[in-house]
Amino acid sequence: MKIFQSLVIIQSVLVAFSEQQQICPALTCDSSINYPIVDQNNICFQHSADSPVTSIRTYSCNQKQQCGLVDGEYAWTRAIRQNNSTQNRTARDNSQVYQRITEKTCEDIQADDQLLQNGRKCELPIQCISRDCDSGKRKCVGKEEGQSCESHQDCDINLACLPDSSFPFKTTCKLLKGTGESCLSDYECLNTHFCWPPLANSSDYRCLEMYSQDFMKDYGFIRNTSLTQIDASVNAGRYCKSGVALIINNSSSRCIEIVNITSTIDNHTTNQSSPYLCSLTNNASSGCRYWYRLFNQTVNRVLAEDYCECSLQPALNSRFQGICPFPGQDQLSQFVKATRILIENTDCHTLDRYSMIAQNDCGAGGKGGDLYDQWAIATETLFNLTYWPFIQSNQTNTCMQQVMTLSRQSIDKSQAYIISLSLQSFMMVLVTLLLIQY
Ligand X SMILES: *[C@@H]1O[C@H](CO)[C@@H](O)[C@H](O)[C@H]1NC(C)=O
Residues contributing to the site for ligand X (CB under 6 A): 21, 23, 80-81, 83-84, 87-88, 90-91, 200-201, 223-224, 226-227, 248-252, 259-260, 267, 271, 281-283, 293-294, 296, 300, 331, 334, 377, 380-381, 384, 391-392, 394
Is the separation of the CB atoms in 290 and 261 below 8 Å? yes
DSSP annotation string for 107-154: EEGGGGGSSBPTTSB-SSGGGBTTS-EETTTTEE--BPTT-B-SSGGG
Q: Which is nearer to ligand X, 21 or 182 (CB)?
A: 21
Q: How far is the CB of 34 from ligand X (least distance, A)?
A: 26
Q: How many helices, marked H, and strands, marked E, lie in the chain?
A: 9, 20
Residues 6+ apart with CB under 8 A from 222: 196, 197, 203, 236
CA–CA dist 57, 245 (Å, integer): 36
Q: Which is nearer to ligand X, 311 or 345 (CB)?
A: 311
Q: How far is the CB of 345 from ligand X (least distance, A)?
A: 19
Measure CA 155 to chain center.
Answer: 26
Q: Which is nearer to ligand X, 158 or 331 (CB)?
A: 331
Q: How far is the CB of 11 from ligand X (least distance, A)?
A: 22
The one-letter code for the residue type at 311 is S
CA–CA dist 404, 383 (Å, integer): 9
Distance in Å from the first CA to the final CA of the chain: 69
Q: Which is nearer to ligand X, 321 or 331 (CB)?
A: 331
Q: Computed over its alpha carbons, how large is the radius of gyration of the chain?
A: 25
Q: Which is nearer to ligand X, 147 or 386 (CB)?
A: 386
Q: Which is nearer to ligand X, 157 or 234 (CB)?
A: 234
DSSP conformational letter for 279: E
Q: Which is nearer to ligand X, 59 or 320 (CB)?
A: 320
* DSSP-derived 3-state class of residue 35: coil
Q: How far is the CB of 411 from ligand X (least distance, A)?
A: 14
For helices 394-403 and 408-437, angle between their N-to-C axes, nearest 10 degrees? 30
Q: How far is the CB of 193 from ligand X (least distance, A)?
A: 16
Q: Please state, as a whole number, how many other Cβ atoms lie within 10 Å of the Cβ of residue 354.
A: 10
CA–CA dist 420, 239 (Å, integer): 40
CA–CA dist 130, 349 (Å, integer): 12
Count how many Cα atoms sit within 13 Å of the Cα of residue 345 in the half-sphere of its side chain: 19
Q: Which is nearer to ligand X, 59 or 196 (CB)?
A: 196
Q: How far is the CB of 135 from ligand X (least distance, A)?
A: 37
Count how many Cα atoms sit within 13 Å of the Cα of residue 335 in the half-sphere of its side chain: 23
Q: How far is the CB of 308 from ligand X (least distance, A)?
A: 9
Residues 6+ apart with CB under 8 A from 199: 219, 220
Is the separation of the CB atoms in 259 and 329 below 8 Å? yes
Q: Which is nearer to ligand X, 83 or 105 (CB)?
A: 83
Q: How far is the CB of 126 from ligand X (least distance, A)?
A: 30
Q: Which is nearer to ligand X, 127 or 253 (CB)?
A: 253
Q: How far is the CB of 190 from ligand X (least distance, A)?
A: 19
Q: How far is the CB of 13 from ligand X (least distance, A)?
A: 20
